[in-house]
Homo-oligomer: A and B are copies of this chain.
Amino acid sequence: MGRGKVQMKRIEDKTSRQVTFSKRKGGLMKKARELAVLCDVEVALMIFSDRGRLYEFSSAESIGKILERYRIHVEEEIAVRQSAEKGKRYDAGFPAQLMDTGPQQMIQRYLEEQNIEEKNMIELTQLEKELDMILRQTRFKKTQLMMEGLKALQEEQQNLRREKTQVEEEMAAMRSDQNANDHHQSHALEQESNPHANDYTPQLQEAMLHLF
């Protein structure tokens, strides 16, 4: 476009590169907006100029929302791919993985026959149900896993507390045994590191249960 045909390579002249950048940036933004409006889709565009300045366009109120959506999208894909390719390790030393094979197979099949467009209403409804089921299962497993992790952590913490108390008692006994003898540095350590720590996790757990 313009007087001359353009080579698809970096413009070496700094000035005209800058000029072109400015012009084309505007054009791109405009077209992005048009696509979003005309076709009623979400579009996000971000451009970092070589001097680090950011230019962005987003059809949603905040580009953050689209990024969030993107993040989730990608994460879901990664999750699917990971569980699809032979439950990659992340089980090592883990509470019973509850990983039955059913869902993966379904997802696999689903991903393979990607021609969703060609399904009819009934088939789509069926597919929707299946996917919904898988999603529920996945979410449930995730929650379960996290809960187990939290519980394990809590138990270990209780053990630690118990042991600590024991040691302290032992020490106290020792001290009173020799109390007339000499007096060491008896600076306390009596204070709990966090007095509400015991309450924290149950609260968290409960809150999370109510979240879903």
Contact = CB atoms under 8 A, between A and B. Distances in A.
Contact of A167 (B70, B164, B196): B164
A40 to B, nearest CB: 5
A184 to B, nearest CB: 6
A111 interface: no
Contacts of A121: none
A208 to B, nearest CB: 6
A154 B153 contact: yes
A22 to B, nearest CB: 9
A70 B46 contact: yes
A32 B17 contact: no
A108 interface: no
Nearest to A192: B163
B24 A39 contact: yes
Contacts of A160: 157, 160-161, 164, 193
Nearest to A161: B160
Given A35-B21, A47-B35, A174-B171, A204 B41 contact: no
Q: Which 8 A-B pairs have the closest CB atoms?
A: A21-B39, A90-B207, A42-B48, A149-B204, A64-B97, A160-B160, A159-B193, A153-B153
10 contacts: A11-B40, A17-B40, A28-B43, A79-B210, A92-B203, A149-B204, A152-B200, A163-B193, A173-B184, A174-B174
Interface of A: 6, 8-11, 17-18, 20-21, 24-25, 27-28, 31-32, 34-35, 37-51, 54, 56, 62-76, 78-79, 82, 88, 90-98, 116, 133, 136-143, 145-146, 149-150, 152-154, 156-157, 159-161, 163-164, 166-168, 170-171, 173-175, 177-178, 181-182, 184-185, 189, 193-194, 196-197, 199-201, 203-204, 206-208, 210-212
Given A68-B95, A145-B207, A156-B200, 16 more contacts: A11-B38, A21-B39, A24-B34, A35-B47, A41-B50, A42-B47, A45-B45, A56-B70, A64-B74, A67-B71, A90-B206, A90-B210, A94-B207, A142-B211, A149-B201, A178-B181
